[in-house]
Amino acid sequence: MDRQFIVEQDIQDKGFWIAQLCPAFEHTSSSESDLKDLKGIYRYKRSDGVVVYIGKGGILSRLNAFGRQEWDFDVIEYSIIEDPIEQSKWESYWLDRFAEKEGRLPVHNKINGKRNKNE
């Protein structure tokens, strides 16, 4: 369900169709070498599919942040997004979706993202 999207006809030009796609953690890595210099949104998952963290920013630098070495996860799923405002938008979107489904945030998320002031 999270990877579905709606296709709508353009209101101003009836000949065009528009599909708004959202980043959906379409890349997967279990190796730090794959993540060098990548920025975007990411989530840490265990092999049983449990999401333990959803975040944004420099993916490798955040992985190496203090305290994360003790976190229990097996794979990193991510979407490349260069713009920090877009990163915040999509991080909040996925945290909201997780909270709606699970009734809580992932175990290592302490807050529900940083929202853009314009939202």
Distance in angstroms (rounded) separating the CA atoms of residues 42 and 80: 9
Q: Where are the beta strands (DSSP E) in 3-113?
A: 7-9, 17-19, 27-29, 39-45, 51-58, 75-80
User: How do residues 11-37 score in pLDDT, each as one tens digit?
Assistant: 666 677 777 688 999 999 877 888 888
Position 113 scores a pLDDT of 64
- The predicted model scores a pTM of 0.78
**Fold of the CATH domain 23-102:** GIY-YIG endonuclease (3.40.1440)
Q: Domain segments of the chain: what residues?
A: 23-102
Q: Whole-number mean pLDDT of the chain?
A: 86
pLDDT of 43 > 80? The answer is: yes
